[in-house]
Amino acid sequence: MSVNSLALASRAACVAPAYSSPPLVNDGKRGLCYNNDTLTRPWSLSGQDSQVSWGYNWFSSRYSDAGVTCHYNDAIDYVPILYSNESYLTSIWTGNAQQEIDMGATALLGFNEPDACFSGQSACMDVPTSVDLWKEYIEPFAGKVRLGSPAITNAGAGFEWLDQFLGNCTDCTVDFIAIHWYANMYAIGYLKDYVQQAYQRYNKPIWLTEFGYDYSEGTPSEQQIEGFLQDATTWLDAQDYVERYAWFYDGPGYLITQDGSGLSPQGKVYNSYQG
């Protein structure tokens, strides 16, 4: 699951709100997956004790591909991703990725859920296509920044797809494994098992670049979400092999209030809760 990066192209120009206090760089593991870069601004501010340090937007630039330069929070380490093999993405990838590296990006992500074919929400790519794309567009950045694997999901072909990719992408550099997880709010044990399996299977650092609820047991209450986030962040922060993770997502009705004015109750938990 993901927010379709195509939405970026139609986003209207935005006006930056004033910071309530200065943004501060921190080394927490928590990240933001977002579609509106202005919504990175309420995070990691002085006085918050924030654990949020990085972000990505299913795209190769922190700003819109429509050329709208808005107001990304520079305290948040931006990570470009080559979402899929669509030509409008590959044609601008190298230039955008290099520009972000020049601006301080330390990692790149490869392909969003190529193992799944959720309509409008995943890359849906076979292994041979993914290997060719990786060698042409992502491998050239090896040694410049760290490279994250294609992000597989627990609802798609998952580990089996990634096994085939790694087995066929010879001489490819994969510095860490990116995974997605969605289930219900009672499945904290499942989340732990899934993350542990990924580490044990590949023996590389793990980035959980999307995780959230799947509505399989209805819409969870805010209390359920906050409780789950407290349990999940406490466990993920304690695992040395989990380098980064991102709750779905930095947008209204989720980590941001419905009116977009600031952090929601779950956003406040995600921002600074430490168990």
**Span 32-66, pLDDT tens digits:** 999 988 899 999 999 999 999 999 999 999 986 44
Q: Strand pairing partners for 247?
A: 32, 211
C-beta separation of 62 from 30 below 8 A: no
Chain Cα centroid distance, residue 29: 12
* pLDDT value for 159: 98
* pLDDT value for 18: 77
Peptide bond into 213 cis (omega under 30): no
* pLDDT value for 71: 83
| Full 3-state SS string of the chain | CCCCHHHHHHCCCCCCCCCCCCECCCCCCEEEECCCHHHHCCCCECCCCCCEEEEECCCCCCCCCCCCCCCCCCCCEECCEECCCCHHHHHHHHHHHHHHHHCCCCEEEEEECCCCCCCCCCCCCCHHHHHHHHHHHHHHHECCEEEEEEEEECCCCHHHHHHHHHHHCCCCCCCEEEEEEEECCCCHHHHHHHHHHHHHHHCCCEEEEEEEECCECECCCHHHHHHHHHHHHHHHHHCCCEEEEEECCCCECCCECCCCCCECHHHHHHHHCCC
Compute CA distances 30 → 53, 84, 217, 246, 253, whole Å. Answer: 6, 24, 26, 6, 19
127 contacts: CB under 8 Å, gap ≥ 6: 161, 164, 165, 168
* Mean pLDDT of all residues belonging to the chain: 92
* pLDDT value for 20: 85
C-beta separation of 215 from 248 below 8 A: no
Counting as low any pLDDT under 50, the low residues of the chain are 1-12, 65-67
* pLDDT value for 69: 55
Q: Specify the CATH class of 5-272 in words.
A: alpha beta
- Model confidence over 106-146: pLDDT tens digits? 999 999 999 999 888 899 999 999 999 999 999 999 999 99
The Cα–Cα gap between 110 and 207 comes to 12
Burial bucket for residue 78 (CB in 10 Å: 0-12, 13-18, 19+): buried
263 contacts: CB under 8 Å, gap ≥ 6: 42, 43, 255, 256, 257, 271
Could you tell me the residue ranges of all domains in the chain? Answer: 5-272
